[in-house]
Structure 1
């Protein structure tokens, strides 16, 4: 491993650990790597009865305001693709619609650069987030940067996500760790499937299906399966 790359990564990683919040952490990452801007975006957060995105960025307030006023999040290809992709990607890979081109031209007119790299994050309870860097580096330099730092950037993104979850929820994260089989059983129960049908669909015994659903119900702190399904939907563990 290149010592220079490792030193920069170690510095950024320790800065995230020391940071009081995500806003401070992304500034530290920006400074460590010498990029123009860094953004962290958790798709949705559940806090009480609120369901809203959690976003921290180093972009100037004037651009953030313009971005929101024009509803650019609805056409931003980095956001739209980033929350369905599984692997990190360079922005030049995204599909550019006519609306996206308008966004990009507006960003250029406001002095923002077009080269970027995003790391999609899916945690153990299914929350999705996106960690992105934006730079005015020349294409050749940027390609070399991504090639050398991709693994480190993925680690930093996941460490940043842990900091974000703690910032939002503290020690009381409302989303329990529901296993894949528990999630599958809940999703099918949400569709109105009976135990016997779920067992057939998943190639499990009815006893095993009942055990998975009971386990999920207890983790969700509910007294019955309909309540557990409703809570799982609210917490975005499953979708209807």
Structure 2
């Protein structure tokens, strides 16, 4: 069997396995083992405010490292997480500009047995929600880069499969979040922060009439009688993060 055929069959088997897995936790283990990775993490992040949250995270990292990561507040300086919830294209960890604080994070991670190389796959779904799938391995960077080139198209599809699995786990088979447009989410975000139409129009560089129109259409899509109800529902569905 040639490498291309093997890669395709491996992808198809893993794709089906993830579809039939009980939850995201089981799915990331399947992905990790299928591609002989060290660890896989799925993180559903926030959207408009560009603030990092951890409402839904599943990882194969050992519990002692997860506890240390949280206790040390590493989520505030982790460049993979920070860049992952703002970028739209996948990236190698080695491409990141690492601050001294982040360098200490990576050194600490290495001392806890985590891999030295990684690949991050940002996800933005039709409702504007962001997620991040991060793959980690203990492998020299040049070998890892070659492996990423070989599998990245398949990994992108599998990452979206994990996101679909996460939405089902969170909301059931029917996703309750309507596909709000970017401007609708932005207007709701600023309205949630107490901004009036005039303020929102200035912030976004649109007319008062247009700002009203976006808020009205967002309210209709959310099936709410007024803007405060629409804001509350958008927050509950994690479509906006007014912080």
Tell me the TM-score normalized by structure 1. 0.83
CA–CA distance in structure 1, aligned partners of residues 216 and 158 of structure 2: 36
Residue among 208, 217, 220 paired with 1:218: 220
What is residue 48 of structure 1 aligned with on the other side? none
Q: Do the aligned residues in 2 keep the contact of 1:44 with 1:54 (CA within 8 Å)?
A: no
> Which residue does the alignment assign to 1:74?
76
Distance (Å, rounded) in 2 between the aligned partners of 1:229 and 1:130 = 25
Query: Is 1:17–2:19 an aligned residue pair?
Result: yes
CA RMSD of aligned residues (A): 2.8
Give the one of 95, 98, 123 matched to 2:97.
Answer: 95
Question: Residue 181 of structure 2 corresponds to which residue in structure 1?
Answer: 179
3-state secondary structure, aligned to 2:197: coil
Aligned runs of 1:87-166 on 2, under 5 Å?
A: 87-166=89-168
Aligned to 1:192: 196
Aligned in 2, Cα 1:184/1:8: closer, same or farther, shift over 3 Å? Answer: same
Aligned residue for 2:136, secondary structure, equals strand
Partner of 1:3: 5
Provide, for residues 40-94 of structure 1, a one-character-per-residue CA deviation record: whole Å limited to 9, x for no partner: 111259xxxxx85211111112222222222211111111111111110000111
Q: Distance in 2 between matches of 1:135 and 1:5?
A: 18
Q: Which of residues 36, 56, 61 is equivalent to 1:34?
A: 36
Q: Judging changes above 3 Å, is the alpha-carbon distance between structure 1 residues 69 and 229 closer, same or farther for their aligned structure 2 residues?
A: closer
Q: How many residues align?
A: 231
Counterpart CA distance in 1 for 2:55 and 2:116 is 24
SS of equivalent residue, structure 1 residue 173: coil
SS of equivalent to 2:55: strand
Task: State the Cα distance separating 1:13 from its structure 2 match.
Answer: 0.8
- The aligned counterpart of 2:170 is 168
Pick 1 or 2: higher relative contact order, CA cutoff 8 A, min separation 6: 2
Which runs of structure 2 are paired with 1:44-63 in the superposition (5 Å)?
A: 52-63=54-65
Determine if contact 1:26/1:38 at 8 Å carries over to the other structure: yes
CA–CA distance in structure 2, aligned partners of residues 101 and 17 of structure 1: 37
- 1:34 is displaced (CA, Å) by 0.9
Unaligned segments of structure 2, at least 5 residues: 48-52
Cα offset, 1:184, TM superposition: 5.2
Secondary structure at the aligned position of 2:133 is classed as: strand
Comparing 213-222 with 89-98, greater Cα deviation is found at: 213-222
Instruction: Flag the 1:6–1:203 CA change in 2: closer, same or farther, 3 A.
Output: farther
Q: Which one is further off, 80-89 or 137-146?
A: 137-146
Structure 1 stretches lacking a partner, 5+ long: 46-50
- 1:222 aligns to what SS in structure 2? coil
The structure-2 alpha-carbon separation of the partners of 1:2 and 1:203, relative to structure 1 and needing over 3 Å to count, comes to: farther
